[in-house]
Every structure is written in structure tokens, then in C-alpha cells.
Amino acid sequence: MRIFLLLLGLLFFENIYGQRIFQKLLITPLYKDFFVYTTYGSIGDGNLIPANGMYLVTQKGIALLDTPWDTTQFQPLLDSLWNRHHLKVVMVISTHSHDDRTAGLNYYKSIGIKTYTTQLTDKISQKSNEPRAEFLIMQDTIFKLGEYSFQTYYPGQGHSPDNILIWFPKEKILYGGCFIKSIETESPGNLSDANIDEWIKSIKKVQKRFKNPQYIIPGHQAWSSKESLNHTLVILKNYKRP
């Protein structure tokens, strides 16, 4: 009887205030040892925007692609991964210089995790006094961690001058960060550092290089569609129309 009354009270409280407790960190299985994690941030209008990162579980530890946007989630993410997989994060790669990708670099570097960005990202981060990685990627690079390998790819300017993508050739998983737009949106998003003309060219390079990806992970919103590269191209071309 007491449990029933407690549940009834919780429902009543929820109906009064019209909302559930907000979950700051979401982890969703993608494929085998691949997972998408989502945190939230704001661009100043108070509305929270989901930001997708990804991680890969290997025999040698966990590779984290991009850091949480929410600065309160740096350690909770590590704790969640340890509780789930009993493995530590051993490396972090940020895909461009914006804070929804790099905010946690200094924190992870300070606790001994290897952090990586491209040399171009580092130059931009240094100039803007933003968090910087310990190690620099000087060119498109193949990384090997445990039983997995993956490669970074710089297609040219787009969402930002320095955006890179990460490709897992065996699994055909393309992690695009903010270079790729979700099918949930019709907006090109934050254009403060974007080059629309070059972005269109860069998208075409990616489509030509990485054939038939089975999963495409954009930087924000839904990531279940294989059409997000084509969708991004349509968004950019529509934006260009007078």
C-alpha cells in the first residue's frame, strides 16, 4: 500500500510540474563494441541541444570520439563506462575545435588519458584559448587499438576549417561529428566558422571515398539514418539558393 501511494505521489508531482527528471548523459548501443553517447549544451538561448559522441570498447581499453559538451559530465561519463565495461578510456580524439567536441580535453589530459586533435585544430584552439590535446595528428592517420583499427580523414573545410571524420573500414561506420547533419534538421546549424561552398565539395569527397557506410553518426540529433550525408548536401545546396 505504501509503495502504491508513493508511486501515485510521484505521478501527481510529475503531472503538476509537467516534466520528468532530465537525464544529462545517454548511452545507446550502436553495433557490437560501438556506442553513441549523448550530452547536452546550449548556444545561449537557454534551449538544450543534444550532442553526439561515440566510443569503442576494445581489449586494450576504450577510445572516445569527442568529449562531452556538458562540463559536468566529464567524470560521470568515465564512471559510466567503467561500470558498464570495466575498462578505462585510454584515448580521446576531438574532431574539430568547437567546445561541443573539445571541452573535456584538458580534464582528460590532466588524468593521464591520451588526447588527440589535428594540428589545424590545435592552432585554432590555441588562438582562441580553448582546451588543447596532448598529441597532434599531422595527416590522415590509421589508429590501432586492441583488435580494432580506424582512420581519421580531413575532407577539407566545411562546418569548420578543421573538421575531420573517423572511419571504421571493417564495420563501415562513419563518425562525422558536426560535419554531418542529422535528418531531423533542415538547418545547416552553426555557421560561425563554416564555408558553405567548400563544405559542399567536402561532402562529395566523403561520399566518393567511403562507400556504403552502414552507420553514419552526425554531431547532433538522430543518427539512425544512412541518408544523413545526402541530407547534409541537400541542406547546403538549399541554403545557397537565392
pLDDT digits (tens, 9 = 90+) for 95-144: 999 999 999 999 999 999 999 999 999 999 999 999 999 999 999 999 99
Terminal CA-CA length for the chain: 66
DSSP state string for 56-109 = EEETTEEEEES--SSGGGHHHHHHHHHHHHS--EEEEE-SSSSHHHHTTHHHHH
Dist CA 148 CA 18 (whole Å): 45
CA distances from 133 to 87, 92, 109 (A): 22, 9, 7
Binned at pLDDT 50, 70 and 90, residue 240 comes out as confident
3-state DSSP helix/strand/coil % of the chain, to nearest 5: 30, 30, 40
Catalytic residues: 96, 98, 100, 159, 190
3-state secondary structure of 175: strand
Are 184 and 222 in contact by the 8 Å Cβ rule? The answer is yes
CA atoms within 13 A on the CB side of 173: 22
Domain limits of the chain? 21-240
Decide: 175 and 155 in contact? Cβ < 8 Å: no
Q: Any idea which of 28-32, 45-49, 58-62, 216-220 has the lowest mean pLDDT?
A: 45-49
Integer angstrom CA distances of residue 109 from 11, 103, 124, 236 = 43, 11, 18, 36
Q: What is the pLDDT of residues 190-218, one digit of tens each?
A: 999 999 999 999 999 999 999 999 999 99
Q: Across-strand partners of 215?
A: 173
The pLDDT of residue 16 is above 50: no
Assess if CATH 3.60.15.10 describes domain 21-240. yes
**Strand pairing class (61-65; 48-58):** antiparallel
Question: Given pLDDT bands bounded at 50, 70 and 90, which one contains residue 174?
Answer: very high
Q: What three-state secondary structure class fits 166?
A: strand
